[in-house]
Chain A
Amino acid sequence: MSSKPTFIGAVEIGTSKITVLVGEYTGRELSIIGRGECSSRGVIKGSVVDYRAAGECTHSALEQAERDANERLDVVYLAQTGGHLEGFYNEASAAVQASDNMIEANDIRTVCDLAKAKQLPAGRVWLHNIRRPFRVDGRLVPGSPEGLVGQRLEVGYWNVHAQEQRLADNIHVIRGFNLEVRELVLASLASGHMVTTPEERQHGVLVLDIGAGTTDYVLYRDGAPHTTGVVAVGGSHLTNDLSIGLRLTDGQAEKLKVRFGRANVLTRDKAQKVWLDGNFAIGDRQFSQQAIEQITAARTTELLEVVKKKLGSTFSPETCAAGVVLTGGTARLAGIAEAAGRVFGVPAHLGEAPAWVTENLRDPGYHTAMGVLYYGVTARGDKSSAPARRTGGLIGQMKRFFVQNQ
C-alpha cells in the first residue's frame, strides 16, 4: 500500500449539471476533500453533443473542485450514462479438471474467461463485466468456489457495453483538461452502491437513479448486480411536458416542477392556483395546482413503467424483497416513492447516503459522484481494505471516510 496520497476526481457529466468530487486516496482510506459543480451545457441525455460547451463546463467544475480541495488532481473516475449503454447476460460452465473434483484457481479462470468471451458488434466496447455468483453443481456459492468439491462449475456475467464513439467523446472532454481517465464507472452501479446496504442487495433491491436526461437502474440479487440499464427519459421530460402543457419556458417549467410538482395527484380542487414566481411582478401568473400535479404524475408514472417494462421478467416483487430505492436529482420530486411503489408493487423509498456522509453531500445529486469514487477505488483491487473514518481535514466537516459496506 502506498502512503503517498492520490487525488482522484469523480466526474459525473450529467444533462443538467456537472459534478466533480475530489477524493484523497492513500491506499487505505478515501476522503472527500473538495467539490465543484457547474450547470451543464452541450450534453443531452447523458451524451456529449457539443464538445466545446461540455468541455468548458466540465473544466470549470474541475478547476472549482481543485481550488476547493487545494490540490491538483492526478486521475479521474468518470461516471457513464446514456441510452447507448446496453447490457446482456452470458454464462458458461466447465467441468472441474482435478481428479478429486476439487475446484482450483485454473478452473475458475477458465469458466470466467468462457463467460466473458462474447463478440460485440462493430463500434461497441466493453464497459463492465459484472460477475454473478458462482454455482457448483447448481448450488449457489456467494464467494470464491476455490477448494470446494464439485463436478461442474458455472458462472454468469452481466456484460455492459457501450458505443465507442460516445465513450471517446466523454474521455476526450476530460483529456482536454490534461487529466487521465483511470476508470469508467456505470452511473447506476455507482449510485446503487451508495444508497443500498449489503443486506438490501442480498435480499434483492432495485435502484433507480433518475437524472435530468436519463434514468439509470440496477437490480441487485444475491448481493451482486444482476441487471443494469439506462432509459433515456428523466426529469427534463417532466419539465418539457409542463412547458408544453402550460405554455411556459423551460426555466419557468423547471421552477414550477421543483416547487409544485408531484408524482401523485393530491389536489382535488381544480380552482386551487399557484403563482409562477409569487412576487406579483409583471409576467407573474397563476396556474392550476392540480394541472401541474397531473402532468408530473402522469409523466413520472410513465417513466417508471418504461423502466419496469425494460426490466421485463427480470423484475418480480418476489425477487426484490428490499423494494425500490430512488435516487438522483428527480428523486426529490414529492410523492415519487409512492408512485414507484404503486408501479412496481413493492415498497419504495428515497435513497440516503450512509450516515458518515456530511450534510452538504447528502443531496441525491451527489450519490453518483460519491459512488464513482468509492466504486472506482474498490474496483481497482482494494476490496480488502475498509476505509476508516477520519476526523478533521482540509475542509473540515466535508472530509469523511468511505466505509466499505460490501
Chain B
Amino acid sequence: MSTEIANAPVTRSWRDIPQPVKPRAMSRGGRRRLFTSGLRTAAGVLIVLALAWGAWTLTKALGQNSRTMPAAAKAVPVKAPELKTNGVLNGAWLGRRLALPRNASLMELDLEQLRARLLADGQVQTATLTRHFPDRLLVSVTERLPIARLMAEWKGNRQALLVARDGVVFAGEGHDPVLVDNLPWLDGIKLARRNGELAPVEGLGVVGELLARAREADARLDDGTSPHAWRVISLARLTSDRELEVRTADGVTVIFSAHGDFFRQLAKLDFLWEAMAHAPERPARIDLTLGREVPVMLQTSLPPTAPAGATPSSASVKFSL
C-alpha cells in the first residue's frame, strides 16, 4: 500500500494525553511527594540564590580588598593626611610630625613607623592610622590633657613644659595661652631623663586627684585674677610626709594630706577662706593635715614705724572644724 505523505492524517499519540493532575485528585502520598518536591525546588532556588549572592559578595569584596589594590594605589600619591582628635592638635602639627615623603603612595607608607612618630610626642596618648584607598590617610589621636606645668631643660633651652595626669611631660602645642598661664607650677620634683627624653614625673596621680577635686569645689583656682588661685604645687614632702604644699596667688601656703579625703580638706579650706575674708590678719599658712584641727598661721603687716629689715610678726590660731 502506498500513500501520499503530503496527505498524511494527523494522528494522536498517548503522549498527547495531558498528565497534570490537581492536588485534590492526588492521594496522601502523592500530596506528600508534591509538597516535598516543592520544598526541594524551593531549597534549590534558595541555594542557587545564596550561591549567586555569595559570588556577588565575593566579587565585590575582592574588588575592594587591599590586596588587589597595590597596583592602583602605587600609582596615586597620597593626599594630605586627615586628622581626627579629641584635643587641640591640628593638621599643621600632623604634617610636621608625619613628614610624609612627597608623592608617596599609600602602599609605600609604613604605618607603624608613622604611628611611632606620633606617639613620640608626649601630647599624643594613642594614635590610629588607616589607609583609605586609593589616596587617603586617616589619623585618629587622643591627646593628654595638661594639669600642671614645670620649668625644665628641653632641647637645649630652659622652658615651661606641661605635665599630664599620668606624669608625662610634653611641650604642648595648640593650647590656649590663657589656660596654660593658669596652670599651677610644679615644685619639689626630681626630673629624670630616659633615652634623652624626660621621664614621667612620679606622684602626679595624687596631684591630679587634688586638682580635679579642687576644680570641682572651687572654680576660682583656675582663675588667674583670684587671690586664691593656685600658683605652685610642691611635691617636696610628698614622698616623706605624704603632704602637698600649695601656694596661692596671694602667697598663702596650704598643706594638704595625701592620706586624707581631698574633698573634706577642700571644704575646710573653703570655710576658712570665707571665715577669714574680713579678718584683719592675713593667713600665711593653713595646715589641713591634722584632721578636725586646722592650725592657721597669721601674718600681720608691719607698722609704718617699723625699722628697715624688720620682719612682720606672726601669730597662730587654731580652728576646730
CA distance A177 to B12 in the complex (A): 25
Q: B128 at interface (Cβ–Cβ under 8 A)?
A: no
- B27: A residues at CB distance < 8 A: 55-56, 59, 176-177
B16 touches A125 (CB 8 A): yes
The stretch from B3-11, B152-160, B183-191, B267-275 touching chain A is: B3-11
Q: A238 at interface (Cβ–Cβ under 8 A)?
A: no
B2 touches A114 (CB 8 A): yes
Residue of B nearest to A175 (CB): B21
Query: Of A59, A126, A171, A184, which one neighbours B30 at CB under 8 angstroms?
Result: A59
Residue-by-residue, is A109-132 near B (CB-CB < 8 Å gives 1, otherwise 0)? Answer: 010011011111000011100000
B2 touches A94 (CB 8 A): yes
- B1: A residues at CB distance < 8 A: 90-93
B29 touches A113 (CB 8 A): no
Query: Of B9, B19, B33, which one neighbours A177 at CB under 8 angstroms?
Result: B33
CA distance A26 to B9 in the complex (A): 38
Given A175-B19, A175-B21, A178-B37: A113 touches B5 (CB 8 Å cut-off): yes
Q: B321 at interface (Cβ–Cβ under 8 A)?
A: no
Q: A162 at interface (Cβ–Cβ under 8 A)?
A: yes
Q: A179 at interface (Cβ–Cβ under 8 A)?
A: yes
Q: B26 at interface (Cβ–Cβ under 8 A)?
A: yes
- B31: A residues at CB distance < 8 A: 178
- B5: A residues at CB distance < 8 A: 110, 113-114, 117
Chain B: number of interface residues, binned into ranges: 20 to 34
Whole-angstrom distance between the Cβ of B20 and the nearest chain A Cβ: 7
Q: A250 at interface (Cβ–Cβ under 8 A)?
A: no
Q: B17 at interface (Cβ–Cβ under 8 A)?
A: yes
Query: Of B11, B34, B37, which one neighbours A120 at CB under 8 angstroms?
Result: B11
* Chain B residues proximal to chain A, CB less than 8 Å: 1-3, 5, 8-9, 11-14, 16-17, 19-21, 25-27, 29-31, 33-34, 37
* Chain A residues proximal to chain B, CB less than 8 Å: 55-56, 59, 62-63, 72, 90-94, 110, 113-114, 116-120, 125-127, 162, 164, 167-168, 171-172, 175-181, 184
- B37: A residues at CB distance < 8 A: 178
CA distance A72 to B8 in the complex (A): 42
CA distance A266 to B25 in the complex (A): 52
Whole-angstrom distance between the Cβ of A178 and the nearest chain B Cβ: 4
Whole-angstrom distance between the Cβ of B224 and the nearest chain A Cβ: 90
Instruction: With a 10 A CB-CB cut-off, give which of B13, B14, B16, B19 has the most chain A CB atoms.
Output: B14
A92 touches B3 (CB 8 A): yes
CA distance A113 to B16 in the complex (A): 18
Residue of A nearest to B17 (CB): A168
Query: Of A94, A177, A181, which one neighbours B29 at CB under 8 angstroms?
Result: A177
CA distance A288 to B161 in the complex (A): 133
CA distance A167 to B27 in the complex (A): 19
CA distance A56 to B29 in the complex (A): 9
- B14: A residues at CB distance < 8 A: 125-127, 162, 164, 167, 171, 184
B30 touches A178 (CB 8 A): yes
CA distance A181 to B30 in the complex (A): 14
Whole-angstrom distance between the Cβ of B229 and the nearest chain A Cβ: 90
New A-B pairs, 15, CB < 8 Å, besides A116-B11, A126-B13, A162-B14: A117-B8, A120-B11, A125-B12, A125-B17, A127-B13, A167-B14, A168-B17, A175-B20, A176-B27, A177-B26, A177-B29, A177-B30, A178-B21, A178-B37, A180-B19
- A176: B residues at CB distance < 8 A: 21, 25-27, 30
CA distance A27 to B17 in the complex (A): 27
A164 touches B17 (CB 8 A): yes
CB<8 Å pairs between A and B, sample of 22: A62-B29, A92-B1, A93-B1, A94-B2, A114-B8, A117-B5, A117-B9, A119-B9, A120-B11, A125-B14, A125-B16, A125-B17, A126-B13, A168-B17, A171-B17, A175-B20, A176-B21, A176-B27, A176-B30, A177-B27, A178-B26, A178-B37
